[in-house]
Amino acid sequence: DSGVTQTPKHLITATGQRVTLRCSPRSGDLSVYWYQQSLDQGLQFLIQYYNGEERAKGNILERFSAQQFPDLHSELNLSSLELGDSALYFCASSATGGVLYNEQFFGPGTRLTVL
C-alpha cells in the first residue's frame, strides 16, 4: 500500500460525458502528479501540482483539467469524453515535488472506460 488513494476504481461512461477522478496523496506530501496509461501510448505524464499550484504540464488535452485543494487532495476533470480517453489514470505523490531527488508513490489507478 503506497498510501495514495484514488477513487473511483472503475468508471464506465459514455462519449461526450464529463467525469471527475479524485486522488488523496500520502500524508505530508505536497506534490501530486497525474499520469495516463493507455495501450497505445504507454504511461504519459499529464500534470503536476505542488502545494496547490500548477508546477508542470505534460501531454494534457484542453478537455482535461486538474486542481489541488487546500487539503492537498487533487481532482482530474475529463470532459467531452471520447473513446480514446479510455485508459488507466494514475495519481502519484511526492514530498518535495522535484527539488533535488524525490520518490513518487503511485496510487492504484482509476480505470476509465468510455463507451
Partner 1 sequence: DAKTTQPPSMDCAEGRAANLPCNHSTISGNEYVYWYRQIHSQGPQYIIHGLKNNETNEMASLIITEDRKSSTLILPHATLRDTAVYYCIVSFSLYSSNTGKLIFGQGTTLQVKP
Q: Is 49 in the site for partner 1 (CB under 8 A)?
A: no
With CB under 8 A as the contact rule, the residue among 21, 24, 33, 85 that binds partner 1 is 33
What is the Cα gyration radius of the chain? 13
Q: Identify whether the C-beta of residue 26 lies closer than 8 Å to the C-beta of residue 2.
A: yes
- Concatenated DSSP letters of 24-72: EPPTT--EEEEEEEETTTEEEEEEEEETTEEEEE-S--TTEEEEE-TTS
In angstroms, give the least distance from the CB of 84 to partner 1: 18
> With binding defined as CB under 8 A, does residue 39 bind partner 1?
no
- Taking CB under 8 A as the criterion, the residue among 24, 31, 68, 74 binding partner 1 is 31
- Which residues are at the interface with partner 1 (CB under 8 A)? 2, 4, 31, 33, 35, 37, 42-45, 48, 55-56, 58, 88, 90, 92, 94, 96-109, 111
